[in-house]
Structure 1
Amino acid sequence: MTRRKPLKMVNEDDPFDDEFEKMVKDTLELWHVPGVSVAVVDGDITWSKGYGIATFPSTLVSPSTLYFAGSTTKAFTAAIMSFLVDDNEKYPHLQWDTPIATLIRDDFVLENEYATQHTTIEDSLSHRTGLPGHDFSLGGPNATVQTVVRNLRHLPITAEPRTKYMYCNAMFIVASHVIETVTGRKLGDLMHEWIWKPLGMDATFFDLESAKNAKEHLATAYRWLYDNRERGFQAVDWMTLDEASGAGAVITNVLDYAKWARAILRKETPLSEKGFEAVFTPRTLIPIEEPFTGPRSYGLGWRMGVYRGQRFYEHSGGMKGFGAELIIFPDVDFAFVALANTAGTANFVDLKLGFSLVDEKLKVPLKERFDWNERRVSQRIISEGRQKAKNAVQILYPHLPSRPLPLSLPLSSYAGTYRHPAYQTLTIYVSSPDTSSNPASTFNASEEQRKSILKADRTQTTWIQMLTFEHVSGEFFVARAKGEADFAALFDDVYPVEFRNGVDGKVKEVGVGWEESMGNEKIWFRRVEK
């Protein structure tokens, strides 16, 4: 691997030199990302630049280009909550340790009584409630923040409260609902009035329509098609953001995020000193991961850790067709922000570019630098995902009989509409098979199965999935899910599926293993009788 020369990073010298530009170009090509906007805050100076394509065929990226910022939204939600905690005159009943159920009693109910009564504001903002992501339950027809919160009572909790870091977008939607219920105002309006306007962040938005109507260009979301038959970039629809709310609804550009980063570096945010300290106080331990040299933790809307002996604050964001990264090193007065427009791999680009600039700032010797591109390759994120998809049957069902059992009913008997109170509707239908990507999948199939397969289109949920069911043995299947967001855009997700028949010989339920933290347990949908 050819090593590039160190970047110049001395005060007035522009960090985005020719060597850096070459690195950007190579990294965009490696990870199939059309474009990226970057900004560096170094002391009193802010540098910013755009690289590549914002919208094909010819709209170039600039520092003002708008992107979905995903989960970097969470920091603003925690900040707004800090204002309410500070205001003991208007909101004396709301503190970090206030049980959520006392604030939105009718809406906030969890799987068991203890968790319902003891889960606090602080817990919801630090991913320690014991509730896993359950991301595929989010959204649906006419979804609102309130409906997301009300659905939590139907979702399994998989850890004791405050014992484990379990990233959960839904809990930030809960926080959004608390804020809007207590104040009687929209969360986005509060962010604009209390944070963005004071900091001059005029190109930051909380809804898609405002961003589409802004003077700045909103980048197109893309996915890269890896299929040998059809390679290249494919535009995907912008996500609606209503139910994402405080978990991921922000759209912004690097110029505005640089203002946010500088305010944090100088402790000149609208937050009080007490509120600022609260959001950056570690609450939940996160497993140590190379190249970080100390323990990592989650505060309130921020990850924290140590890199090369320097503490940092950080958060990434991923939406359908977008990736975001914000890294802040308070003790050396340095921050980096990157926003890019491809599903799954945009964050790879963000991390590679960001930590290359951090290494320059910290004067890390070239031979000691961690290669984020190589890291992603060595971890085999993509290849391991594809291997899991390819070998899904052996991985998900390691103890199959030597001769798989046939289905107990005709394949068409398993088609129908199934309902779960939180995961909503799963409509399974019979379709012609597509064995081009895995011709061996029909080797042991019956004649009927060679002619037809089961599918389900989950197009009404926030994270869209197109499911294909591959028969394994008896009433057991593997579901292969294609999507347009995160790693689902790079390889199929795979889940174990089981059907249950009633004593009348008809299919009554179907279970899908969407949540790994549930082990062998599944999300069970009951059949809706016609």
Structure 2
Amino acid sequence: MGVRRVRRHRRGRARAYAAAGLASVLVATYATAAAAEPPPRSTALTAHPAPRTAPLLTDKQVADAVAKLDEQIRAGMEKTGVPGVAVAVVHKDKVVYMKGFGEREVGKAGAVSPDTVFQLASVSKPIASTVVADAVGDKAIDWGTPVTRHLPDFTLKEPWVTRHVTVADLLSHRSGLPDHAGDLLEDLGYDQQYILGHLRFEPLSPFRASYAYTNFGFTAAAEAVADAKDTTWAKLSEDSLYGPARMDSTSSSFADYEKAANKAVTHVQNAQGDWEAKFVRDADAQSPAGGVSSTARDMARWLRLQLANGKLAGDQIVPAEQLQRTHLPEIVSQPPAPPANRAGFYGLGWNVSYNDQGRLRLSHSGGFELGANTNVTMVPAEQLGIVVLTNGKPVGLADSVALNFFDTAQQGGPTQDWLPLIARIYEQEFNADRSPTDYTKPPSGAADAKADDAYTGTYRNDYYGPLTVTADNGALSVHLGPKPLRFALTHYSGDTFSFETVGENAVGRTGVTFTVGGDGQASRVRVESLDQNGLGTFTRE
């Protein structure tokens, strides 16, 4: 999400939410170009617990920033209308702030508290890398282990890359897979096994030399780790992190979130700008990348663990050396660009930057367009971190609360009005994916469609599976996915129709164009929204 960074194969959509583009805003403000390009081999970096250096922030500066949080959060909620927020701050291994605000669900009784369960979206990634760090510490697997050693059926388009792509490559988004590869398959209802098995059709950019954010590449790495431990990802997460850290309300299973009595449901804005609980987002297919649910209380425990080199309440939960490895730059995610000319990096599940004092700053945001937005930010040298959970689609609130907090601690107050800036980034990214054609307005003199039977039938596609066109009472429909999903077609002009997209990656109306031969029968059909990587053409059986 966010401002444009490197060339993308497919979607500029704000699905990563600060894993990439929004991170460039943070980088431009806080980072210095302090790290070199990572070495080409994922095993070349070695991490050791960072020595404790004297903090630059005083206890009073932190306390003053904490004292202003209530006002900043309430002001952001009033401006955006986001229904519910939960926030926790950790400083020097103590929880110095933990509160809930607003409603769990609009129009229903139930206030948000520190124990309200939120969907974390992509804040799941640094949690997942914590789990992987523990497995590496157990020597069940290594950061440099090829993924196919544990997922033998995992295949990418180029055989050499398939053989060499490692856990670290996929956790840092440097495998060469296109931006958000596989996400559209999830929208159509395909499961994790199908999606991972079909990434082999995606085009690749240069291996270990290009960055593109991929939920399912990340997921493949985590699933390889679970296989190495001979368990499921959800159970591995519970056994190695959630249980030992007493994160009792945290889970990597959607079913646990769904059955929680005290949970914040997701909200989106309707055409009038009012917030409503309209969608349910089941992210089990990409659980390591986006499927964690948790509370502010549990996340505060995880922040304490992160800031104490894997130790919590006197117990070493995660090996310090391997946890530190997750904090290192692995790939340039934001090349230097004016006006700041500062680079941004991605580590293992973290955005990695350096503040004006050259101190490591780690962050990640998460967002579901179907109704959630989260942020975690920390500066280990200051032993200071914040987590912000919200139950509304990304409009900038979660990120601006974190930015305001660190600005206030470091500068005495916000350095700028972050909320409208971040909101614009989200909105720009959302609109960037919409078709340039307004299919609600057919051109003047639009050509007539052919008879329905010119288009009806079944078409095949190696990546997306079958597409079936049916005609019922003079209305054409497209059927896609394993269920399948039905999309009513609206005629635009000639052999071009449109339908309204759905799901996390919905982009409004998209074009459906048939290629009709001399026999009067369509031989192919191209779905515009599925064709960003050249994979959206279906051929008649």
TM-score scaled by structure 2?
A: 0.76
Q: Which residue of 1 aligns with 2:329?
A: 282
Task: Give the alignment partner of residue 110 of structure 1, picking from 153, 156, 161.
Answer: 156
Indicate how the Cα distance of structure 1 residues 84 and 467 shifts in structure 2: closer, same or farther if over 3 A, else same.
farther
Indicate how the Cα distance of structure 1 residues 351 and 85 shifts in structure 2: closer, same or farther if over 3 A, else same.
same
Equivalent pairs: percent with the same residue? 23
Q: Which residue of 1 aligns with 2:115?
A: 64
Task: Give the alignment partner of residue 481 of structure 1, picking from 501, 510, 516.
Answer: 501
Report if aligned partners of 1:9, 1:361 keep a CA contact under 8 Å in 2.
no
Indicate how the Cα distance of structure 1 residues 387 and 255 shifts in structure 2: closer, same or farther if over 3 A, else same.
closer
Q: Which residue of 2 aligns with 1:420?
A: 461
Indicate how the Cα distance of structure 1 residues 122 and 359 shifts in structure 2: closer, same or farther if over 3 A, else same.
same
Indicate how the Cα distance of structure 1 residues 261 and 461 shifts in structure 2: closer, same or farther if over 3 A, else same.
farther
Indicate how the Cα distance of structure 1 residues 470 and 326 shifts in structure 2: closer, same or farther if over 3 A, else same.
farther
Residues 72-91 of structure 1 mapped to structure 2, 5 A cutoff: 72-88=123-139, 91=140
Q: Which residue of 1 aligns with 2:354?
A: 306
Q: Which residue of 1 aligns with 2:49?
A: none
Q: Which moved more, 1:307-316 or 1:323-332?
A: 307-316
Q: After superposition, give the CA deviation of every residue in 1:344-375 in whole Å (9 maximum; x if it has no partner).
A: 32xx1101111111111112565xx1322231
Q: After superposition, give the CA deviation of every residue in 1:393-414 in whole Å (9 maximum; x if it has no partner).
A: 289xxxx9x9877367335633
Give the distance between the partners of 1:461 and 1:273, measured in 2 at CA: 45
Task: Give the alignment partner of residue 382 of structure 1, picking from 414, 422, 427.
Answer: 427
1:52 aligns with 2:102: yes
Give the distance between the partners of 1:104 and 1:69, measured in 2 at CA: 26
Question: Offset at 1:245?
Answer: 2.2
Tell me the amino acid that sits aligned with residue 219 of structure 1.
Answer: A
Give the distance between the partners of 1:255 and 1:340, measured in 2 at CA: 14
Question: Offset at 1:296?
Answer: 1.2
Question: Offset at 1:274?
Answer: 2.7
Q: Which residue of 2 aligns with 1:242?
A: 284
Tell me the amino acid that sits aligned with residue 65 of structure 1.
Answer: T
1:236 is paired with a residue whose SS is coil
Indicate how the Cα distance of structure 1 residues 306 and 166 shifts in structure 2: closer, same or farther if over 3 A, else same.
same
Give the distance between the partners of 1:219 and 1:465, measured in 2 at CA: 30
Indicate how the Cα distance of structure 1 residues 222 and 374 shifts in structure 2: closer, same or farther if over 3 A, else same.
closer
Residues 168-317 of structure 1 mapped to structure 2, 5 A cutoff: 168-214=214-260, 217-225=262-270, 227-228=271-272, 232-269=274-311, 270-287=317-334, 294-309=342-357, 310-317=359-366
Give the distance between the partners of 1:427 and 1:404, measured in 2 at CA: 29
Tell me the amino acid that sits aligned with residue 421 of structure 2.
Answer: R
Indicate how the Cα distance of structure 1 residues 156 and 503 shifts in structure 2: closer, same or farther if over 3 A, else same.
farther
Question: Offset at 1:278?
Answer: 2.0
Q: Which residue of 1 aligns with 2:450?
A: 409
Q: Which residue of 2 aligns with 1:353?
A: 401
Q: Which residue of 2 aligns with 1:393?
A: 437
Indicate how the Cα distance of structure 1 residues 429 and 364 shifts in structure 2: closer, same or farther if over 3 A, else same.
farther
Question: Offset at 1:248?
Answer: 1.6
Q: Which residue of 2 aligns with 1:146?
A: 193
Indicate how the Cα distance of structure 1 residues 302 and 517 shifts in structure 2: closer, same or farther if over 3 A, else same.
farther
Indicate how the Cα distance of structure 1 residues 377 and 186 shifts in structure 2: closer, same or farther if over 3 A, else same.
closer
1:26 aligns with 2:72: no
Tell me the amino acid that sits aligned with residue 501 of structure 1.
Answer: V
Q: Which residue of 1 aligns with 2:394?
A: 344
1:243 is paired with a residue whose SS is helix
Tell me the amino acid that sits aligned with residue 218 of structure 1.
Answer: K
Report if aligned partners of 2:376, 2:388 keep a CA contact under 8 Å in 1.
yes
Report if aligned partners of 2:137, 2:318 keep a CA contact under 8 Å in 1.
no
Report if aligned partners of 2:226, 2:233 keep a CA contact under 8 Å in 1.
yes
Report if aligned partners of 1:292, 1:306 keep a CA contact under 8 Å in 2.
no
Question: Offset at 1:204?
Answer: 0.6
Give the distance between the partners of 2:198 and 2:344, measured in 1 at CA: 31
Question: Offset at 1:376?
Answer: 3.2
Give the distance between the partners of 1:36 and 1:468, measured in 2 at CA: 39
| Count of residue correspondences | 470
Q: After superposition, give the CA deviation of every residue in 1:486-529 in whole Å (9 maximum; x if it has no partner).
A: 7x4xxx445554322345331232223446863xx34222345x
Give the distance between the partners of 1:475 and 1:493, measured in 2 at CA: 20
Question: Offset at 1:44?
Answer: 3.9
Q: Which moved more, 1:323-332 or 1:273-282?
A: 273-282
Q: Which moved more, 1:273-282 or 1:257-266?
A: 273-282
Task: Give the alignment partner of residue 86 of structure 2, picking from 25, 34, 37.
Answer: 37
Question: Offset at 1:386?
Answer: 5.2
Indicate how the Cα distance of structure 1 residues 330 and 412 shifts in structure 2: closer, same or farther if over 3 A, else same.
farther
Tell me the amino acid that sits aligned with residue 205 of structure 1.
Answer: S
Indicate how the Cα distance of structure 1 residues 111 and 16 shifts in structure 2: closer, same or farther if over 3 A, else same.
same
Report if aligned partners of 1:35, 1:61 keep a CA contact under 8 Å in 2.
yes
Q: Which residue of 2 aligns with 1:471?
A: 492
Tell me the amino acid that sits aligned with residue 183 of structure 1.
Answer: K
Report if aligned partners of 1:293, 1:307 keep a CA contact under 8 Å in 2.
no
Structure 2: unaligned runs, 5 residues or longer? 1-57, 312-316
Indicate how the Cα distance of structure 1 residues 280 and 16 shifts in structure 2: closer, same or farther if over 3 A, else same.
closer
Indicate how the Cα distance of structure 1 residues 465 and 329 shifts in structure 2: closer, same or farther if over 3 A, else same.
farther
Q: After superposition, give the CA deviation of every residue in 1:258-288 in whole Å (9 maximum; x if it has no partner).
A: 1111111121342223312321121111125
Indicate how the Cα distance of structure 1 residues 383 and 120 shifts in structure 2: closer, same or farther if over 3 A, else same.
closer
Indicate how the Cα distance of structure 1 residues 123 and 461 shifts in structure 2: closer, same or farther if over 3 A, else same.
farther
Question: Offset at 1:251?
Answer: 0.7
Q: Which residue of 1 aligns with 2:36?
A: none
